[in-house]
Amino acid sequence: MGGDFNAALSRYGYAQSTSALYEKLDKFFQDFVHSTHGTLMESEAHTSRDLLRGSSASLVHIITWNLTCTNTCTMQSSTSKVHWVGVECNGAMDCCASHNSQKAHA
């Protein structure tokens, strides 16, 4: 199962007033993955960012269940790559200030 879960293992720059809510949400997500014996594939970079506020988070994840590797295959890393579309920023947080909330595709 994959998609934008709006839960993060990594957040940066979010308001102090919402931190308790996000911490609860993020813990619930991690508990779900653990309690269902899922394998979480995280993105290597933050998949959502707000250039005006300077905040970013990894919100897009893939969760797998019951996938095993036999001797004939090699398990890939448990991270996914992020490819930003629609913005020519080359990874700089402040280069596209007019783009408020850019989304990535993992």
Which of 11, 86, 74, 85 has its CA nearest to residue 42? Answer: 11
The low-confidence residues of the chain, meaning pLDDT below 50, are 90-106
pLDDT tens digits for 11-36?
Answer: 888 888 888 898 999 999 999 999 99
Share of the chain above pLDDT 70, in %: 64
**Other C-beta atoms within 10 Å of 41: how many?**
17
* Domain count for the chain: 1
pTM for this structure? 0.63
Residue ranges making up the domain that contains 44? 2-105
**Other C-beta atoms within 10 Å of 50: how many?**
16
